[in-house]
Amino acid sequence: MTLVMIWQESSPAGYIWVASDSRLSGGNTVGSVRLTDRATKILEIPVILRRQTALSVLGTPVKITNLGFVFTGSSLVALQAYAAVLPLWSRLQSSGPEVLPSVRDFANHLAYFMQAFAGEIAFSQQGNIPKCQCALIGWSEPLTKLDGYLIEIEPTITPISTTVSQLEIFNSGSVQILGSGSNKARQELATILGADGEAQLRREPLKLIRQFINTSQHDEVGGGVQIGCANPDGFQLFFDVQPVVYGTPFPDMRYHGFKFGEISRIGNVFVNLPGLT
């Protein structure tokens, strides 16, 4: 499991933020086992609408954006569903208006793959239905606004089915908290927000998840912080930037627990990913 927090910033732009830990754990006969503290929980999905031309049957890009994808629960279900849609959503064509599908349309498409993989896994495990939640966020061109949906595997229904529902952040202004550490995180967030409630959310959930990871003894939540943001231009991942430590000249920049200096160069080029404190 994991801890994921999704919220909409209280500002004129109203960007949607998502933060998560990076611990991947698995269960055995004695309980939860830590597998890695560098797991990927937040990813980008490129979305490309192409126009077919006489010189290009596969089409040339006319609309490009990114959607944010985050999951809790079964990494096997989530990452296989992600891998399935990844090449498909970058090869879109329209027989009508050149308008990208809505975020809801993409969520319904993702749900099809999640249900298929969950069903096959459950069959191989004598009916043990895997728990999985995936959230999809981004700019909805048909609605001309930011939107997001939660796709869940129904844990007790046979045959296996999925539900697709709009994120709570649009209905109540609340922070959507997912994962095994959600109950404790809600309690700590209420303490941070105090009497102001959730009316002026900015970076408070990010502050909480950093504190939670640094102090929690929860076996299933930990590692580093992952950060992403959805705005009208698409979805953007960030390096997690920690304050300068005494004796070091630069802040500590990490991506999924990896230090920036260790992964910042590929051949003769370098990674240009923004950082967030």
Counting beta carbons within 10 angstroms of the beta carbon of residue 31, is it exposed (0 to 12), middle (13 to 18) or buried (19 or more)?
exposed
Mean pLDDT of 13-33: 80
Q: Give residue 98's pLDDT.
A: 93
156: pLDDT strictly greater than 90: no
Q: Which sign, positive or negative, has the C-alpha torsion 84, 49, 45, 209?
A: negative
The C-alpha atoms of residue 234 and residue 44 are separated, in whole angstroms, by 9
For the chain, helix (H) and strand (E) counts, in that order, are 5, 18
Q: Which residue has the tokens 């754990």?
A: 25
Amino acid at site 224:
G
Q: What are the structural domains of the chain?
A: 3-230 (3.60.20.10)
- At residue 198, does pLDDT exceed 60? no
Predicted confidence at residue 77, as pLDDT, reads 95
Contact between 175 and 6 (Cβ < 8 Å):
yes
pTM for the structure as a whole: 0.90
How high is the pLDDT of residue 204? 84
234 compared with 127, residue with greater pLDDT = 234
pLDDT of residue 248: 65
d(CA 129, CA 273): 37
Helix (H, G, I), strand (E, B) or coil at 26: strand
pLDDT of residue 247: 65
For residue 259, the model assigns a pLDDT of 85
